[in-house]
Structure 1
Amino acid sequence: MINRRILSLWFPRMGAERLMRRIGFEPDLPFAVIAEEANTQTLSALSPGAEALGLHVGLGLRDALARCPNLVTRTRNDRAEMAFLAVLRRWAGKFSPWVAEEPPDALVVDLTGCAHLFGGEAALMEQVAADCAEHGLTVRMGIADTVGAAWGIARYAGLGAAAVRNGDAIDQEAPATRSRAAKRRHWERGGARPGDTAPEGPAARIAPPGRTRAAIAALPLPALRLDPQIVAELTRLGLRRIDDLADQPRAALARRYGRQLVLRLDQAIGAVPEPVSPVAAKVRFSVRLTLPDPIGLEADMLAALDRLLPPLCDRLAKKGQGARRVRMECYRADHSMVSIDVGLARPAHDPDRLRPLLAMKLEEIDAGYGIDIIRLVAHVTEPVQAQQLRGQAAVTEAALARTGPAAPTLDDLVGRLGARIGLDRIIRHHPGDSHIPEKGFVTLAVAWSEPAGEWPPSPTPRPAFLWPPELVDAPLHPRLPPVFRWRGRRLGLVEATGPERIAPEWWLDDPNWRSGVRDYWRVICESGDCLWLFYAHGGAMSPGWFCHGSFA
């Protein structure tokens, strides 16, 4: 049986070194990346020069500036750091195809069956260190049979338990208790035990196959990826190293500190499997056109679209995808960029359906001193099922009736209107599952819904216009009045149809229906108005007549 071999890569200064590479900042100078946590600015990444001055991650910005007034700072960009970590993941693919990200600053690589291609695990680690040093990155590595063990070795191998600060350390105790602390043995105060060593070199970072437990026994408890509060409680009990914890009864540990503590310990020693889940390669649909001379005329940009759309649509069709949103990026000669974005009512990979939408928005592009690069990106796609027509004439006719010329025409109309006013503003109504007039329909966006089928029949016709019930001045009795006042007008009754009784939904407390049971009437007035009146019999509110809508 072949043992799994896991490589953990930790970049402790990734946030700072990413920015230092861009601005050309020297590593020996103090530099820090600032992050906001709970309305407080703290240091999230430091340069070697800043660490040499006593600064550390988590220190407040005010305290850091008090210790080092010439500290250079930059604000943390989480999205840029995640993108940089993705770049490192692609670089680590040269050592193994099985690479996963551990945000915000680490990678885990499954090296099973790959290390011999680089001359062994020690040679592979030297290659990793050389590559990182070439690109100005600090890396700490660890190799073991499990993900948890490799994670702990990468961060804590060679440091010993004394490197973990806790409340029992002599330099953290109050002056009044330091005299009593001197009577304790030094390893009880956080120091190294007899026989503890901290070897250096690649050998200290490699756990021999099958000896994972022995390799991580001397590591401090944070190497198990435990919550800091649990680590503090265990430390106060005198449990500082992994071997101290491994000898304790599991049931008692789980009962007092939760199952997560036992799970992390079992994952580290290999009793519980922990798979490595690599990030699937993202398929990108984009094409680019580099121009020999800058352009600025709309006709030239249309010609560029005609060259870019066919290859983009071919890539979409081969993957069975249709573009839902397409972005056109125009890079100008002054190194600036302007873009336009269009959406489609239905995913498509037909150039004739994409070109009119993009052409409508070309007038929004300011060419400036000229455009020398045009990039077309389908950044939102959806699967598109290819339609296959069968040989029978009846089946073919039915398929054309369902998805014939009418459907693309409506989709193109929605797409063009959406390019002007936005797809979210184009709506349609679907039947709702309720007998309440206000809930008899639901409003959906046309671009993300299918046309409604047949509406369920109603006992009586429903008005074309609905509004919140408006008070009608009429006698307070259920009989329909011959004359009533509404909106300041005196209206006389000519014809009436009804009543239709509608009761509120007893399982819901609707504030608009606290007036109780309603009797609806369709009335035609002398003025020609065709209104929808109802008499509320009164529940939690007073009874009365109201106008709820109007027929066309």
Structure 2
Amino acid sequence: MPRVVSVFLPNWPIDRFTRDQRAAPPSPEAPLILADREGSRRIVFAASEAARGRGVRIGMAVTQAQALVPGLAIRNADPRADAAGLERLALWAQRRYAPIVAADPPDGLVIDATGAAHLHGGETAMLRDVIARLAGAGVTARAAMADGWGAAHALARYGAERMVVAPESGSRDLVSALPVAALRLPGTMVADLNHLGFTRIGDLADQPRAPLALRFGPQLHRRLDQALGRLAEVIEAARPPDLIEVRQSFAEPIGAAETIARSIDRLVGDLCALLDAKGLGARRLDLVLHRVDAQAQAIRVGTAAPVRNATRLSRLLRDRIGSIDPGFGIEIMTLSAAWVEPCGPRQMTSLLAAAPEIDITDLIDTISNRIGADRLYRLAPVASDVPERCLSRIAPTAPPVGAGWPDHWPRPARLLPNPEAIETLALLPDHPPVSFTWRGIRRRVRRADGPERVFGEWWKRDAEMIAVRDYFRIEDDAGERFWVFRAGDGEHAATGSQQWFLHGIFG
């Protein structure tokens, strides 16, 4: 089932203008409009939220807007810069989320998320990430995911929520309740349909087609079928000018796994030859398969280091053949190196040279492309005495960070994600627990060592100015060893709650 994301940028011209004025950005509270010409009139092309809140509307004459809002800031609109910025935004989304991303002028993006959402934590998590990252860049966004471009486009712009995830095969019911304007029809056609009593998309779905087609032409039912998932739409993915890409067309559509595998081998060989000529290696490959029914499927694989070994890259792509649904056949295959880095020539090994280091990047690539690159990592030390802050996740092949863990006290092999409260019997202020209860099991302490006092990091939060923890290594009657701490110094309430927690388990 195809899954498509539509991203709606309701304030795109204003957001783009504001981002371009980095040296002296306008105040968000100051009313601002972008003006353009319509014949001999100057009209409001875009308006900031502050201006809209005072009654300014798109299409209004600039003189009328000035009369409504004294001190209104007026700048010239630049639709070409808006379109160019939208294309750059599409390329950013393509690098981050999925191989097939396109600009949806004048104020949106469309992403073919089929088979890609799980790499970002699921459909809902993917949409949240899109909206959050755009908001962090100063761009207001709404987003929707549905079974087709038409449905996602309608839900993103006319849905009740800022983020909508339509269930698979369930887009029709959601779209039917939306106004006819959500069908991407000309404004005059929408007005005529409303005049005839068609206010909702569902009002049109079951009407006889011939009378409506005679009056409004084929565009009405084409848009209706696209919104209801009856007709597929081709998404022409954005392409950077320096993209390294190879393409193969087939005289007869192909569908067998063996034929697809052979075609992948040929494409990878041609791509590696281009990479070798430029001294580059691939960090990410995008394979797009265009089917005869106008649907496209994409496979994305990544590597931990720049690679131009055809055998290795082919294996990564061939491992994903099982996820391909050829439908009635594939007529075109394109393979592009979406992310490249310099890759020098490989030195030949000599019998007199020292043994080369073991290269595990091939194994890393195989695992990360199966479970997701974000789920494969290694831990690196961070300069912090607070245990839960002394670790960070980095890429498996990242260089050493040049720091180490504290070695003056032993640390447990397993650190709990969050300290868990325990019930204890202990003599304050400096003695370890005599017994404790954790997860419903009471344990008697046989041996203990400590305390190790850890102070709060006052430069991060005021609440940690005088906060302390006293850590103890304890062993119960069964020989199991734990790492527990008391929040506070055991005497002064301001230093902590004086409650006990279990934070780690020794191997």
**TM norm structure 1:** 0.47
- Structure 1 residue aligned with 2:395: 445
Distance 1:296 1:81, change over 3 A: same
Distance 1:340 1:390, change over 3 A: closer
- In the alignment, is the contact (CA less than 8 A) between 2:468 and 2:496 conserved in 1? no
- Structure 1 residue aligned with 2:467: 516
- Structure 2 residue aligned with 1:481: 433
- Structure 1 residue aligned with 2:354: 397
- Structure 1 residue aligned with 2:506: 551
- Structure 1 residue aligned with 2:84: 82
- Structure 1 residue aligned with 2:109: none
Q: Distance in 1 between matches of 2:87 and 2:462?
A: 51
Matches within 5 A, 1:165-180: none
SS of the equivalent of 1:354 reads helix
Q: Distance in 2 between matches of 1:369 and 1:286?
A: 25
Q: Distance in 1 between matches of 2:266 and 2:406?
A: 52
Query: Per-residue displacement from partner, 1:75-98 (whole Å, max 9, x unpaired)?
Result: x99799439999xxxxxxxxxxxx
Residue type at the aligned position of 1:459: H
Q: Percent identity?
A: 32
- What residue ranges of structure 1 are gaps of 5+ in the alignment? 1-33, 65-75, 87-103, 105-280
- Structure 2 residue aligned with 1:461: 410
Distance 1:294 1:529, change over 3 A: same
- Structure 2 residue aligned with 1:417: 367
- Structure 1 residue aligned with 2:477: 526
SS of the equivalent of 2:263 reads helix
Distance 1:542 1:379, change over 3 A: closer
Query: Per-residue displacement from partner, 1:122-148 (whole Å, max 9, x unpaired)?
Result: xxxxxxxxxxxxxxxxxxxxxxxxxxx
Query: Per-residue displacement from partner, 1:7-57 (whole Å, max 9, x unpaired)?
Result: xxxxxxxxxxxxxxxxxxxxxxxxxxx9865699x99888xxx73xx5656
Residue type at the aligned position of 1:413: L
- In the alignment, is the contact (CA less than 8 A) between 1:43 and 1:56 conserved in 2? no
Distance 1:489 1:366, change over 3 A: closer
2:456 to 504, 529, 536: 504
Q: Distance in 2 between matches of 1:544 and 1:481?
A: 12
Structure of larger gyration radius: 1
- Structure 2 residue aligned with 1:31: none
Matches within 5 A, 1:102-121: none
4+ long deviations beyond 6 Å: 42-46, 76-80, 83-86, 451-454
Q: Distance in 2 between matches of 1:524 and 1:479?
A: 14
Instruction: Give the root-mean-square deviation of aligned CA atoms.
Output: 3.8
Q: Distance in 1 between matches of 2:460 and 2:253?
A: 64
- Structure 2 residue aligned with 1:327: 286
- Structure 1 residue aligned with 2:135: none
Q: CA deviation at 1:501?
A: 3.0
Q: CA deviation at 1:541?
A: 2.5
- Structure 1 residue aligned with 2:157: none
SS of the equivalent of 2:433 reads coil
**TM norm structure 2:** 0.51
SS of the equivalent of 1:366 reads coil
- Structure 2 residue aligned with 1:541: 496
- In the alignment, is the contact (CA less than 8 A) between 2:425 and 2:434 conserved in 1? no
SS of the equivalent of 1:397 reads coil
- What residue ranges of structure 2 are gaps of 5+ in the alignment? 1-9, 16-30, 46-56, 62-77, 89-105, 107-239
Matches within 5 A, 1:173-212: none
SS of the equivalent of 2:362 reads helix
- Structure 1 residue aligned with 2:171: none
Q: Distance in 1 between matches of 2:447 and 2:466?
A: 26
Q: CA deviation at 1:348?
A: 0.5
Distance 1:428 1:501, change over 3 A: same
Q: Distance in 1 between matches of 2:288 and 2:36?
A: 33
Q: Distance in 1 between matches of 2:475 and 2:80?
A: 65
SS of the equivalent of 1:520 reads strand
Q: Distance in 1 between matches of 2:87 and 2:409?
A: 63
Does residue 355 (structure 1) correspond to residue 314 (structure 2)? The answer is yes
SS of the equivalent of 2:354 reads helix
Q: Distance in 2 between matches of 1:458 and 1:344?
A: 35
Distance 1:425 1:457, change over 3 A: same
- Structure 2 residue aligned with 1:436: 386
Does residue 493 (structure 1) correspond to residue 445 (structure 2)? The answer is yes
- In the alignment, is the contact (CA less than 8 A) between 2:483 and 2:505 conserved in 1? yes
- In the alignment, is the contact (CA less than 8 A) between 1:514 and 1:541 conserved in 2? no
Query: Per-residue displacement from partner, 1:384-422 (whole Å, max 9, x unpaired)?
Result: 2334358682xx215x12xxxx32xx3222222222221
Q: Distance in 1 between matches of 2:365 and 2:338?
A: 17
Q: Distance in 1 between matches of 2:35 and 2:252?
A: 45
SS of the equivalent of 2:271 reads helix
- Structure 2 residue aligned with 1:341: 300
Distance 1:384 1:495, change over 3 A: same
